[in-house]
Amino acid sequence: MRKAWFVLVAIFASSLGIAWAKQDATQEKPKDTPASTDGYKISQEDIDKKNPVKPSPEGLAAARKIYGYDCAMCHGPKGDGKGDIVDSMKLTMHDWRDAASLEGKTDGEIFFIITKGKGKMMGEGDRLPETMRWNMVNLVRSYSKRDAGDKPAS
């Protein structure tokens, strides 16, 4: 009887130890995941970059093509932030048709975000040539410059 009691106590103690170890493991926060470092810093040099590419119908058309298959799924085909996967990924997107959504953002900041990414958005990095990334900045800016019929009601 003593042996059975000893075995039961040992099993109980080990199960408490395992439960305690699992609780500690689930409470630990990841330290360097992209989501936890969302508050990244953009250098002043990047903020101050000027867009060397002037908006042109050709540049906007090329950017629109890339945007259609690489960005519209989240940002929406018209830049309204209502892409197909916004709900499933639980994203909060800006409506670029509203000029206030880009107010205070320099072209350099938008270029940085397109290049490096932000939050769950992957950056284009070297996948796109620099000129095309600047064309993407022009495209993003163009969404808020469309006529009032395309803009959200205030």
- CATH number, position 109: 1.10.760.10
* pLDDT tens readout for residues 52-62: 999 999 999 99
12 domain-assigned:
no
pLDDT means over runs of 10, the chain (154 residues): 66 63 47 44 94 97 95 94 92 92 94 94 92 97 70 46
Count Cβ atoms below 10 Å from residue 87 Cβ, excluding itself.
9
139 domain-assigned:
yes
118 domain-assigned:
yes
8 domain-assigned:
no
Looking at the 3D structure of the chain, how many domains does it have?
Answer: 1
How far apart CA 145 and CA 137 sit, in angstroms, is 13
Q: DSSP for 98-125, please give it.
A: SGGGTTT--HHHHHHHHHHEETTEEP-G
Whole domain around residue 108: which residue ranges? 44-147
What pTM was estimated for this model as a whole?
A: 0.69
25 domain-assigned:
no
